[in-house]
Copies of this chain bind each other. A is one copy, B any other.
Amino acid sequence: MAMVDESSPSALERLLEVGTDEDIQRLLLALSPPETADLLEELADGETRARVFRLILGRKQARVLRDMDAEERVELVEQLPAEETAGVLEYMKSDDAADVLQQLDEEHQQEVLDALDPEDRVEIEKVLEYPEDSAGGIMQTELVRVRAASSVRDAIEEIRRTAEDTGELHEVFVVDGEGHLVGWVKERDLILAEDATRIGAITTQVPVTVPVDMDQEEIATFVQDYDLSSVPVVDAQNHLVGRILVDDILDVIQEEADEDILRQGGSRAEELDAPTIAMAVRSRFPWLVVTFCGGILAAFIMTAAEGAIRHAGALFAFIPVIMGTGGASGTQTATVTVRSLVTGRIDTSDLMWVVLKELAVGVVMAVVTGLMLLVVVQLRGGDLLVAGIAAGALFGTIFLGTMFGVVIPLVMHRVGVDPAAATGPFVTTLNDVLGSSIIWALCLWLV
C-alpha cells in the first residue's frame, strides 16, 4: 500500500503552525500506527512529538510508541510525566513495555514502574529481570493457560476474559496444577471442537520449547527449523513462564544480521539507528585504529629490512597486490567460516575437514594468482626474478591468510567468544602485517 499523502511530515508541520488540534487529530485518524510512528520520528524534537502524541487516541498510542525507533522514542518519553507513560505501557504487551523501559535512565524507569498498575508492573518486571537478548528478555508473559481437565467452553471463557491483553492468540497452553507445560491446543482445533469437549482430548505435544536463559540468536536459528507461530519459554523445572511470537524472532534475525554486517564492515549496528556524525566516528574509529596500527607495524618491518630492500627495490611495486589479494582471501575465508558458525551450518564434530577444505581452497587460489602475477610481469617485460619473489610472497600471504581466516573464528567459537568479531578489519590487518613480513623474510633470505 502506498504511503497516503497525509502522512508527509510537511502536511503535519503546516498544521502544527496554522491548524487546530482537531485538524491534526483528523489527519492522524487516517494513518496506521507504523505510519504515525514514522511521522513522529520526522518531527524536529521531543516536545513537538509529545504535542502530537497526546492527540493520538488511547490504545493507538501504545501501538505507535512500540513502532517508533529507539532514539526518537526516548526523546518523546522524556517529555511525558511518568503517570502518562505508565498509562500507555498498560496497553502494551509485557515484552514491548519492557523494551521501552529498558531504554530510559534508571531513575525515570523507576518512576514509570511506580506509576504502573501493580498487576502490570509484576508482568513487566518479570521480563526486565532477564538479559535483554535472552528468551526471558524478549518473551511476552501474556498468554492463555488452561488445565487439561477443563472444557472447550471454559477455554473460550478464559480467551474472552484475557482478549484485551493477549494480542495474537495462536494457541492455548495446557498446564498442570503446578504450572508445568503439558501441551497446547491450536486455535483451529478449538474452533472445530464441540463446547463440551475436554481440553485434554484435543491437546497436542509442543514440538519445541526454549529455556528462559537461551540467547536470542540461538533461538532464531533453532526456531527456523520448525514452522511455528510461537514458542513457549520454560524455566529449569519446565514451568511455563512466557512465549515468544515469531514476529519478534523476525526482529531478532534482522538485529543480529545488522550487528554482524556492520561489525564485518568495521562499525557497530548502533550507527544504523542513530545516524549522526558523532556516533559514526565513535563506532568506526576503534577499527580504523586497528588497521592503522597494523599498517604502522608493517612500515616498521619494512624499514627494518631497508638493507635488503635496496637490492630489490622493484619489489615494492608489488606490495599493493600482495597485501590486497592476501587480505581479500583471508576476509573471504573468515566471512564464510563465521557465517556458517553463526547460522549453525558447520558440523563442529568434523572441524578437521573444515580446516583442510579451506586450506585446499587457499592453495588453489594462491597458485592461480601467483601464476597470473608471473604472466603479467612477463607480458610487461619485467624482471622475472623479482616477479618470482613477489609471486612467492603472494602465495605465502594467501595461504597464511586463509589459515588464519578459518582457524581464528573456530578457536573463538570454541572458547565461547562471538566469532563475528573475526571478520573484517581484524583478519585484513593480520594479513597486511603478514604480507610485509613475508616480503621482508624473502628479501633477507635472497640477499
Contact = CB atoms under 8 A, between A and B. Distances in A.
A292 B229 contact: no
Given A328-B425, A361-B280, A247 B227 contact: yes
Interface stretch (A51-59, A72-80, A162-170, A174-182): A162-170
Contact of A295 (B220, B275, B321, B357): B321
A227 B332 contact: no
Nearest to A433: B320
Contacts of A131: none
A189 B207 CA distance: 26
Contacts of A294: 320-321, 324
Interface in A267-321: 267, 271-273, 275-277, 280-281, 284-285, 287-289, 291-292, 294-296, 298-300, 302-303, 313-314, 316-321
A127 interface: no
8 contacts: A227-B245, A254-B257, A266-B331, A272-B336, A292-B324, A296-B321, A298-B320, A320-B436
Contacts of A208: 1, 32
Nearest to A390: B299
A322 interface: yes
Contacts of A271: 336
The number of times this chain is found in the oligomer is 2
A191 interface: yes
Contacts of A435: 320
A345 interface: yes
Nearest to A280: B361
Contacts of A325: 288, 291-292, 295
Contacts of A167: 227
B168 A192 contact: no
B361 A281 contact: yes
Contacts of A262: 335-336, 339
A168 B320 contact: no
Contact of A272 (B159, B220, B345): B345
Contact of A320 (B32, B295, B331): B295
A291 B340 contact: no
B156 A272 contact: no
Given A265-B331, A266-B332, 16 more contacts: A156-B192, A169-B188, A220-B250, A228-B247, A229-B229, A260-B261, A265-B332, A272-B339, A272-B343, A281-B365, A291-B324, A291-B325, A292-B324, A303-B317, A327-B327, A327-B428
